[in-house]
Structure 1
Amino acid sequence: MFTLRFDMRAPAGSAPTADLYAAAVDMCEWAEDRGAVIAVLSEHHGTDDGHLPAPQLLAAAIAARTKHLAILLAAVPITFWDPVRLAEEISVLDIISKGRVSYALGIGHRVEEYEHFGIDPHGRGKRADELLDLLRRLLRGAPVDHDGRRVRVMPSPFTPDGPSLVIAGGSTAAARRAARHGLGLISQVASPDLRALYETECRANGFEPGMAQFPVDGVPTTVFVADDLDAAWQELGPYLLHDAVTAASYRHDDSVASISRASTVPELRDADGPYRIFTTDEATEYIRGGRPLPLLPLCGGLPPDTAWRYLDQAVTASRNAREKP
């Protein structure tokens, strides 16, 4: 049992971008009957390494090549979108996937991305609330009066009232936003206080708390599987380090569970942090402990031929975990 995450980074010297995108679709098709439970696609804009800026397009390609694999877009910065256009894309993708695509909606945390779109980041929380309300009304399929015009999104989504939406964010504002709209919450910040706030605010707004996902201390967020750990770290280390350093540059605090402040491969390996390489036996026991392996198969632009070998090892661990100990 494992998850697949793709961000499509392709820094200088990595595999060609076209090969990485083709491999991501192939991997999802191959893995959906071999233990994959969900494919997660992230979104960033204007990055030096080409981080995936259009996850809906990649999700459509994956949905067209798979039959039952769930797909999560996390996080979609709603403040960068025209809500009518976003509702149309969500509706069509919901039809293509027959309801398999869900969304974690955020507000974006990089000033550079607001500059990329020419949007003022001030007041983005209020803007997010307004856009979210309009988006949800549009996805219900009825005509909506907006800015003096009547808008209706057609065709309507495959899923009645639209696909699953949750809020992504690790702040009190994100928790309150989720609660106001009666939506679930995905946080990268481990915080009992934030969970309690979310649950209290949900009930204050007349909703029972929805799905609330918080990281667990010591649990990795990016895993590879190999039996020769030294050789694997030598081969994978530079790619994992690029991912770690670049992701850390987007954040200015250490509260986010997926962030490592390592600056060298040995530091990344010794940190016992979010980036791990397990042996097959370790991965098998990890899965038997009740958690899926969080795989990032093409991490840092890893060449597909190399990535496939490690993905196959993860599948072996998943198969072993399903067998009797």
Structure 2
Amino acid sequence: MQNRQSSLRFSLWVDGRTTRGQPVTTTTYRELIEEITLAERLGFAGVWDTEHHGFNDGYLPAPFTFLAYLAARVQKMSLGTNIVLLPLWPIRLLAEEAAVLDVLSEGRFTLGLGLGYVQHEFATFGVDRRKRRNRMEEGVHYLRAAFKGEPVPDGYQGQPLPVTPRPAQGEHFPIYMGGSSEPALERVARLADGFLAAVNYNPLEELKSQCELLQKHLEQHGRDIHNFPVVASTHMWVSDDPERDWETLLAPALAYQADVYARYGTDAEQPRPPATDPKSIKRQGLLVDTPENVVKHIREMQTNTPLTELCFWSHPPGVPHDAIMAHLERVAQRVLPAFRSA
């Protein structure tokens, strides 16, 4: 399974938090915006944000608001959600938010969707978590009709109503989806325009495994994986001293992130998971290395998967703002040129 293109898009993945548990402040968002606007000047292709609710460390709860502000600050970068939790949303509100953002950004927005899993989020929004798959299926069909300009039957007593405004991209407004299980990948192949692959601790092997299943289901639906965007969402850190940065910056950040996801992903009646020891996370297999080795690893991912875009956590929690700015410069100077078309 080989990618036919040598070029590759690089984009940022933002979750709205920059520390390990400190409250979000105006400084938090100001620094994130500074990082993203620098990334545009450096030639990064896009930025994706994500969504969670009720996390005490400031995880971003308002992905459309954040991207709407960015739409006025960056002029070339694409914008996307990676991911927004469709089952939690009133579907008309989701369609309207997405359409307005696409108009504001002049057609630069991609709507990335996921199921969600956190028990307290479904309880908070009054949604039965057992019905999330049905809500996803029905929701995507609703969005497709709405973006085509078709009236949808959710008015009083089922009266048809339009969803306005029409997206700038019209019926071609792209909807990507995430997931890693086989049922999720079958749903991606059947309903989506692209795949958001979360590949956390062994990007190459995880992406290969997911893409093999995706390809099988795309073929069943008469679709070609080489015409299907694949975005690998992962950790990446480029350094001339990767061992030092791993021990002082990246391993603590990844351990904190893993702890937060494990804690909130555990249902209330289940035992609390133990804390993650940073020393238990191995750098081997991750894109945390010298520029030359990172380029080599990404080339291997391109050779073995239909990768079209690499999306990386741009601000691992706890890493200082000045280190992030320097890292973006380093990636732009020493990694991006290797993946530009001649």
TM-score range, shorter chain: 0.7 to 0.9
Match of 2:238 in 1: 225
**Letter of the structure 1 residue corresponding to residue 258 of structure 2:** A
Per the normalisation by structure 1, the TM-score is 0.81
Give the count of matched residue pairs: 307
1:241 aligns with 2:260: no
Report the aligned-residue RMSD. 3.2
Long gaps (5+) in structure 1? 253-260
Residue 317 of structure 1 deviates from its aligned partner by: 1.3
After superposition, the C-alpha distances for 1:167-219 in whole angstroms (9 at most, x for unaligned) are 2222333234334436444344624662244224423xxx666626386xxxx
Structure 1 residues 95 and 76, CA gap change in structure 2 (3 angstroms):
same
Q: Is the 8 A contact 1:25 1:61 kept in 2?
A: no
Q: Which residue of 1 aligns with 2:214?
A: 195
> What is the aligned-residue identity percentage?
28
Deviation string 1:31-89 (CA, Å, 9 cap, x unpaired) is: 12423122121211211222111111111122211111112211211111111111111
The CA deviation at 1:15 is: 7.8
**Shift, 1:293, TM fit:** 6.1
CA distance in 2, matches of 1:104, 1:293: 15
Q: What stretches of structure 1 move > 6 A for 4+ residues in a row?
A: none
**Per-residue deviation, 1:234:** 4.1
Q: Using the TM superposition, give the Cα deviation of residue 248 of structure 1 relative to its aligned residue in structure 2, in angstroms.
A: 4.3
Q: Residue 230 of structure 2 corresponds to which residue in structure 1?
A: 213
Partner of 1:90: 98
Match of 1:7 among 12, 15, 18: 15
Residue 44 (structure 2) pairs with residue 36 (structure 1): yes
Pairing of 1:1-325 with structure 2 (within 5 A): 2-10=10-18, 14=22, 16-146=24-154, 147-161=157-171, 163-181=173-191, 183-188=193-198, 190-191=209-210, 194-203=213-222, 211=228, 213=230, 221-236=234-249, 237-249=251-263, 263-268=276-281, 270-274=282-286, 276-286=287-297, 294-318=311-335, 321=338
Check the 8 A contact 1:87/1:153 in 2, yes or no. Answer: yes
Counterpart amino acid of 2:104? I
2:257 partner letter: D
Q: How far apart are the structure 2 equivalents of 1:133 and 1:294?
A: 27
Partners of 1:53 and 1:271 in 2: CA distance: 30
Q: Kindly tell me: are residues 93 and 277 of structure 1, through their superposed partners in 2, closer, same or farther at Cα, counting changes over 3 Å? A: same
Q: Does the residue aligned with 1:137 lie in a helix, a strand or coil?
A: helix
3-state SS of paired residue (2:35): helix
- For structure 2, which runs of at least 5 residues remain unmatched after alignment? 1-8, 199-205, 267-273
TM-score, length of structure 2 as denominator length: 0.77
Hey, what's the Cα distance between the residues in 2 that align with 1:312 and 1:182? 34
Name the counterpart of 1:255: none
Q: How far 1:26 moved relative to its partner?
A: 2.0
Q: Match for 1:272: what amino acid?
A: Q
Is the CA contact 1:95–1:157 (under 8 Å) kept in the aligned structure 2?
yes
Displacement of 1:262 after TM fit?
8.9
Within 2, Cα distance between the matches of 1:13 and 1:192?
A: 34
CA drift at 1:120 = 0.8
Q: Which amino acid aligns with 1:68?
A: K
Shift of 1:141: 2.2
Q: CA 1:55/1:16 → structure 2, altered by over 3 Å: closer, same or farther?
A: closer
Q: Distance in 2 between matches of 1:200 and 1:282?
A: 34
Inter-CA distance 26–200: structure 2 relative to 1 (3 Å threshold): same
Change (3 A) 1:11 1:152: same
Change (3 A) 1:50 1:200: same
Q: CA separation in 2, counterparts of 1:314 and 1:139?
A: 37
Specify the SS of the correspondent of 1:144: coil
Partners of 2:299 and 2:184 in 1: how far apart? 33
- Residue by residue, what CA displacement relative to the aligned partner does 1:141-172 show, whole Å, maximum 9, x if unpaired? 23222251232122211112152002222233
Task: Answer whether contact 1:286 1:293 (CA < 8 A) is retained.
Answer: no
Query: Hey, what's the Cα distance between the residues in 1 that align with 2:212 and 2:294?
Result: 31
